[in-house]
Amino acid sequence: MKKAACMILALILFLPLQGCRFKDIDLKLFVMAIGLDVSDDHPDKIKVTLKIAIPQGDPKKADEKVQILTQESDTIAEAVREMKSRVDKELDFGHCKAMIFGEKYAKTSLRDSLDWAMRRRDIQMMMYCAVGKPSAKEVLGVQPASERIPVNSLLLALSRDGTESPFIVPIFFYNLHRRFNETGLDPLLPVIEAKSEQEFEISTAYLFNKQKIVYLMNPEETRFYNLLTTKNLLTNFNVNYNGSRYAYNVEHSKASYKIKTPKDGEPYIEYKIKLVAELEENKTESIVSEQFLRDLGAAAEADLNQKIQKALEKVHKSGSDPYGWGLRYAATHWNNRTEFKEWADMSERLKFKVNSKVLVKYTGMIR
């Protein structure tokens, strides 16, 4: 009797439970990238573009099938909801790997889009973020001839898994969101420029304050940012020596800095950079000796010191702090929650010193 009663009770408890609502893969459309722009006709509205990969029956085929949807609405959530009435399958954001902000949209504020993406449970925090020029829709419309999987060309470039360019600054969504909310650390985003229907270029980066764009770093300044924040950056530099131009390839690199606050002088940040390089291009026919390599390294040091110091001064003058100097100061100075105020007062008088050490130890294959 007791056993029967327990079975009846168990059946009653299972009645409110619903079955699994999981949809099969052939009933889904996978959103690979999201583009956000300001509406052309209604500046108060947002234009959302989704680049969708359509699943293929044979995974061995390289036939790429892509669908691009664009919808304008008052909010991102409403635009996505309206797009669902234009397709026959469920939109799945679980494979979304890129969020592109149109240049015009990025000059307003990104906080609404970051808040929307953070609240959705199906959007990964590991997706890459960038600014699209002239618009996010045009960037998502670029399909290089080498692309075999939808959006894969953008992902390979932004992640450095494919090309290893020193001009690309990889920024994950979680890092961007943190930079918008962390005191003493400001956001930056790489700029993807659509050159044609089959070509894009990533060589610059936008700096933000906590609200909008404040400065555009040129390719050289972007490369210096990567050099100062990335260990063993694969890059090269040019240097003029004895009236001729030489190019050296960096094999190993390391950069560090300290914030100095002398009692009898102005505060300054001192960067120390160490490069191990090889001579990659020589426009003269002179014999390369060991003494020549030492002299070339000394010329490269003086050139780097001047250029990097100038780049740091420009970034500091913009009012943005992508390097996290303020956060470093607060982390190393415990002043009962007044360290950020001290940094704000001190930052106006901040100077920079750069000490680089370039060791050109190899002449290439030519001896």
Mean pLDDT, rounded, for 146-155: 84
Say if CB 150 and CB 32 are below 8 A apart: yes
pLDDT tens digit string along 322-358? 999 999 998 888 776 788 888 888 888 999 999 999 9
- What pLDDT sits at residue 289? 84
Q: pLDDT tens-digit profile of 6-62?
A: 777 766 766 555 555 556 777 888 899 999 999 988 888 999 999 998 766 665 665
- Average pLDDT over all residues of the chain: 88
pTM, rounded to two decimals: 0.88
pLDDT at 235: 93
Structure tokens at 107: 């000059």
| 149 or 310, which is more confident | 310
**Residue 167 CB partners (closer than 8 Å, separation 6+):** 202, 203, 204, 219, 222, 223, 226
- Choice between 256 and 2, residue whose per-residue pLDDT is larger: 256
Amino acid at 300: A
| Interhelix angle 290-317/219-229, nearest 10 degrees | 100
Q: Residue 21: what pLDDT?
A: 58
Q: What percent of the chain has pLDDT over 70?
A: 91
Question: For 180, phi and psi rounded to 5 degrees?
Answer: -75, -15
Quick one: which of 117, 132, 252, 278 has its CA closest to 192? 132
Average pLDDT over residues 191-219: 93
* Residue tagged 């770093």 (tokens): 217
pLDDT of residue 139: 95
For residue 207, pLDDT over 60 is answered with yes
pLDDT at 61: 62
69 vs 53: which has the higher pLDDT: 69
- Read off the tokens for 296: 């070339």
Question: 187 or 340: which carries more pLDDT confidence?
Answer: 187
Query: Does residue 291 sit in helix, strand or coil?
Result: helix
| pLDDT attached to residue 32 | 92
How does pLDDT run across 89-101, given as a tens digit for each residue? 888 898 899 999 9
**How far is the C-alpha of 263 from the C-alpha of 364, rounded, in Å?**
48
Which residue type is seen at 88?
A: D
Contact 280, 249 (CB under 8 A): yes
Q: What CA–CA distance (Å, rounded) separates 80 from 308?
A: 44
Decide: 286 and 367 in contact? Cβ < 8 Å: no
Structure tokens that stand for 91 in this block: 């939109």
3-state secondary structure of 269: strand
pLDDT confidence bin for 202, thresholds 50/70/90: very high
% of the chain residues with pLDDT over 90: 60
**What dihedral angle (degrees, nearest 10) is formed by the CA atoms of 262, 265, 269, 275?**
-90
Q: How far apart are CA 335 and CA 267, in angstroms?
A: 17
pLDDT at position 255 is 96
DSSP state of 164: -
Identify the band that residue 206 occupies on the pLDDT scale cut at 50, 70 and 90: very high
Residues 311 and 224: their CA atoms lie apart, in Å, by: 8
Report the pLDDT averaged over residues 243-260.
Answer: 93
Number of Cβ within 10 Å of residue 254's Cβ equals 15
Residue 94 confidence (pLDDT):
87
Q: How far apart are CA 67 and CA 28, in angstroms?
A: 13
User: How confident is the model at residue 340, as a pLDDT?
Assistant: 85
Phi, psi of 252 (to 5 degrees): -135, 140
Task: Collect all residues with Cβ–Cβ distance below 8 Å to 155 and sequence separation of at least 6.
Answer: 97, 98, 128, 161
- Structure-block tokens of residue 29: 């459309």
Helix crossing, 325-332 with 339-347: angle to 10°? 140
pLDDT tops 80 at residue 208: yes
pLDDT at residue 197 is higher than 70: yes
pLDDT score recorded for residue 363: 75
274 closest CA partner among 249, 294, 254: 254
Q: Is 50 helix (H, G, I), strand (E, B) or coil?
A: strand
The predicted structure's pLDDT at residue 328: 93
